[in-house]
C-alpha cells in the first residue's frame, strides 16, 4: 500500500513509564517499539501523543488520601481510575522510549496537562467535552483516515480510536502494535467496543 496524504499514523504514549521498569508499566509495552518503527515507514505522516501530567495530578492515587492505585474515584466529570504517579512533565518516565523513532513525526500532542482532569483520548479529555485540538488539526490538513498504535490498548488507544470514529475518521487500530493494561477485563471489553463502533482491528503485516 502506497503512503497516502489523507492518512496518518497516530502513535499513542510510547513512553518509558508505560514500558517495563516504568511507573505504570504495561506488560510487554516495549514490544511495540520495533513494530511501530517498521509501521512508521509506511506512512507519509505521523503524530505522536505524550501523556504529560503535572506533579500532583488528580488522576494519581497519591493525590487522594488513603486511596491506592487502580481503585476508582468519583470526579466532577465521572469515575476515574487512580493511577500510580506517571508521566510527570519533564521526567525520564515521561520521555519517549529511547528506541522509538521520533524525529519523523509531524506533530507531538501532549495530553493530561490539566491538573483537575485526566485525558486518555488524544481528542477529548475525560469529561468527553474538552477538546485537545487534534480533530481540528487533522481536518485542517485534510486527513480522513487515522491508523493507531501504542499504549495502552484498553485506555488511551481505545479512547482515541473511539473518538476518531465518532468524529468521522476512518479508523484502524493495529492490534499487534499495541499492548494493554487489562484491568478487570478492560482489554477484551475495549476490543469488543472498538469493533462494534466500526474501528478496524488489524495486524501490522497486513498494512
Residue 93 or residue 112: which is nearer to Zn ion going by CB? 112
Nearest-approach distance from CB 189 to ligand VGL, in angstroms? 14
Rounded to whole angstroms, the maximal C-alpha distance in the chain is 53
Q: Assess whether 129 carries a catalytic annotation.
A: no
Angle formed by the axes of helices 186-196 and 158-166, nearest 10° = 20
**Which of 51, 87, 111, 118 is the catalytic position?**
111
Listed residue (7, 70, 71, 13) closest to 44, CA to CA: 7
Q: Assess whether 156 carries a catalytic annotation.
A: yes
Nearest-approach distance from CB 152 to ligand VGL, in angstroms? 4
Q: Assess whether 118 carries a catalytic annotation.
A: no
Question: Chain centroid to CA 173: how far?
Answer: 11
Residues that bind ligand VGL (CB under 6 A): 13, 18, 51, 83, 120, 151-152, 155-156
Q: 182: left (phi > 0), else alpha (psi -120 to 50), else beta?
A: left
Nearest-approach distance from CB 22 to Zn ion, in angstroms? 12
Choose among Zn ion, ligand VGL, none what residue 155 binds, the Cβ cut-off being 5 to 8 Å by kind.
ligand VGL
By CB under 5 A, name the one of 7, 51, 125, 154 that touches Zn ion.
Answer: 51
Please enumerate in sequence order all residues whose Cβ is within 8 A of that of 83, keeping only pairs 6 or more positions apart, or say none: 24, 59, 60, 61, 69, 70
Helix (H) / strand (E) element for 196: namely: helix 186-196
Choose among Zn ion, ligand VGL, none what residue 13 binds, the Cβ cut-off being 5 to 8 Å by kind.
ligand VGL
Q: Which residues bind Zn ion (CB under 5 A)?
A: 51, 112
Active site residues: 13, 111, 156
Amino acid at each position: 500500500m502506497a503512503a497516502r496524504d489523507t492518512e496518518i499514523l497516530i502513535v499513542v504514549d510510547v513512553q518509558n513509564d508505560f514500558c517495563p521498569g516504568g511507573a505504570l508499566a504495561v506488560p510487554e509495552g516495549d514490544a511495540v517499539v520495533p513494530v511501530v518503527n517498521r509501521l512508521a515507514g509506511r506512512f507519509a505522516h505521523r503524530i505522536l501523543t505524550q501523556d504529560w501530567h503535572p506533579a500532583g495530578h488528580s488522576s494519581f492515587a497519591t493525590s487522594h488520601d488513603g486511596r491506592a492505585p487502580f481503585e476508582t474515584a468519583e470526579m466532577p466529570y465521572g469515575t476515574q481510575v487512580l493511577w500510580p504517579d506517571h508521566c510527570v512533565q519533564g521526567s525520564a518516565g515521561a520521555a519517549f522510549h529511547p528506541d522509538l523513532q521520533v524525529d519523523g513525526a509531524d506533530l507531538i500532542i501532549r495530553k493530561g496537562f490539566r491538573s483537575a482532569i485526566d485525558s486518555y483520548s488524544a481528542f477529548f479529555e475525560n469529561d468527553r467535552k474538552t477538546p485537545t485540538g487534534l480533530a481540528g488539526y487533522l481536518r485542517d490538513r485534510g486527513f480522513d483516515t487515522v491508523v493507531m498504535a501504542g499504549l495502552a490498548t484498553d485506555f488511551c488507544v481505545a479512547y482515541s480510536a473511539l473518538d476518531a470514529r465518532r468524529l468521522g475518521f476512518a479508523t484502524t487500530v493495529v492490534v499487534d502494535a499495541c499492548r494493554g493494561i487489562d484491568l478487570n477485563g478492560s482489554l477484551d471489553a475495549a476490543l469488543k467496543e472498538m469493533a462494534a463502533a466500526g474501528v478496524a482491528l488489524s495486524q501490522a503485516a497486513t498494512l
